[in-house]
Amino acid sequence: MNMAGETAHFGLRNWPPAPAIRPFELTPRQQKLVDMARAGLAEPFRGISGTGSVAEGVFPSAATGVSLAPLLEAARAFLASLDTTQRRAACLAIDDEAWRQWSNFHPWLMPRNGICLADLSDGQREAALALLRETMSEAGYRTTRDVMRLNEHALEITGKPEEYSEWYYWISIFGTPSPNEPWGWQIDGHHLNVNCFVLGDQLVTTPILLGSEPVLARFGKYSGLRVFAAEEEQGHALMSALSAEARQQATIGTDLPWEVFAGAYNDNRHIEPGGIRYADLPQEGRERLETLLATYIGYVRPGQAELRWAEAKRHLGDTQFAWIGPFDDTSPFYYRILSPVILVEFDHQPGIVFDNDKPSRDHIHTLVRTPNGKDYGKDLLRQHYLQWHTDDHGGHTHSHTDQSHARSTAEPAGRGAAETPK
């Protein structure tokens, strides 16, 4: 297959300046996207659904027996590395609405939450990256760091230092890192959005949006670096294992979407079931679907990934695979996997760095979510409040609400609703 070979034929977009690190005057299109984002955030969180309503009781809260002590230690070490002003910027309440204000945009359409890696010392930056390292598997950490490196490559391509950098990513800590109380953290920036919620030894790492343009560095500091090869090739291989009739059943459209369906500010998205059911796949197709699912689940740290995989396997009978676009060796495409416990999306995108108006295989977005209310650990936090928060429960105190807790030093943040911001 011709993977990631097209940008050599593209020119660069001639966009107006759109800095990633400071406010600027928005274009009408950008303002429209900001308005769409605010409308999405105004909806109370319910979660992704595949049936029209969020199912209750899908994720009972229970100890896993898989220690998260290294992640807790990394969070405490990061906070200890910050001064008082930096901690004030980085720290938020566990139920702050900032959880939902991430975006894969690179411009500063609205303020980001947290503290920017570019503003940290080398030691502080390494402490922040340790959070990411202890959340992800070795492969997951490598992919996230490579996304950051390719954002630096976008700077090499465009020569726009206010728009692209390896370090234009913002870290937030939610709650107080604790072995018993709920807490979490988030990294937010261009093509890299990871949300991590922790309750004891329970871990939720969705939403995760990872992307890149280009997906291959052909020159420069990171020449030869490539991301999303497995995600692309395994999705294509799954379709190749199907008969013509089964491919037709899997295909739900011909025109690729302008963005993944459940991206930023789509926390309550209803994903219409469609495509081909796991049970209707041939044996080779089932095996390839499982391999593809395992690739995305394998982003997460060992032990927790096995728990997530066991959960996904229990729901294979309710799992569907859908495809949009042509099926050949060169055309861009979209696919998704949907079950009650996981949503995966993969999409080839038009150019933002480059001037191609049609999708190409050199701009990819991937997304993993947990349907039925578990994104951001919301359902686990709800259950925790119900179980433990009473007025006379041994001094156990935290907020009942799921509303924003404002900081004195920062504005609420938000970005637009797609990655066509200019």
Query: Following CA atoms 138, 140, 141, 142 in sequence, which dihedral angle do they give, to the nearest 10 degrees?
Result: 80
Query: 167 or 419: which carries more pLDDT confidence?
Result: 167
pLDDT above 70 (res 142)? yes
Lowest-confidence segment of 75-84, 120-129, 390-399 by average pLDDT = 390-399
Note the pLDDT of residue 408: 29
pLDDT in tens, 360-398: 999 999 999 999 999 999 999 999 999 886 544 444 444
Q: Put residue 325 in one of left, alpha, beta given phi > 0 → left and psi -120 to 50 → alpha.
A: left
- Residues 282-291: what's their mean pLDDT? 98
pLDDT above 50 (res 403)? no
CB neighbour list of residue 9: distance below 8 Å, 6 or more residues apart:
none
Note the pLDDT of residue 299: 98
Note the pLDDT of residue 202: 99
pLDDT above 90 (res 211)? yes
- Residues 342-358: what's their mean pLDDT? 97
- Residues 281-305: what's their mean pLDDT? 98
- Residues 314-339: what's their mean pLDDT? 98
Note the pLDDT of residue 370: 99
pLDDT in tens, 5-56: 555 679 999 999 999 999 999 999 999 999 999 999 999 999 999 988 999 9
pLDDT above 80 (res 407)? no
Note the pLDDT of residue 416: 30
The type of residue at 290 is E
Identify the band that residue 182 occupies on the pLDDT scale cut at 50, 70 and 90: very high
Contact present, 396 and 386 (Cβ < 8 Å):
no
pLDDT in tens, 63-74: 999 999 999 999
Note the pLDDT of residue 344: 99
Note the pLDDT of residue 1: 45
Note the pLDDT of residue 19: 97
Tokens in use for 350?
């038009």
Note the pLDDT of residue 184: 99
Q: What angle do CA 150, 369, 359 make, to 5 degrees?
A: 45
CA pair distance 7, 226, nearest whole angstrom: 13
pLDDT in tens, 216-269: 999 999 999 999 999 999 999 999 999 999 999 999 999 999 899 999 999 999
pLDDT in tens, 300-320: 999 999 999 999 999 999 999
Note the pLDDT of residue 2: 44
pTM score over 0.85: yes
Backbone angles phi, psi at 164, to 5 degrees: -130, 140
pLDDT above 80 (res 89)? yes
The type of residue at 298 is G
Identify the band that residue 110 occupies on the pLDDT scale cut at 50, 70 and 90: confident
Tokens in use for 171?
């870290």
Which is nearest to 196 in space by CA: 140, 131, 141?
131
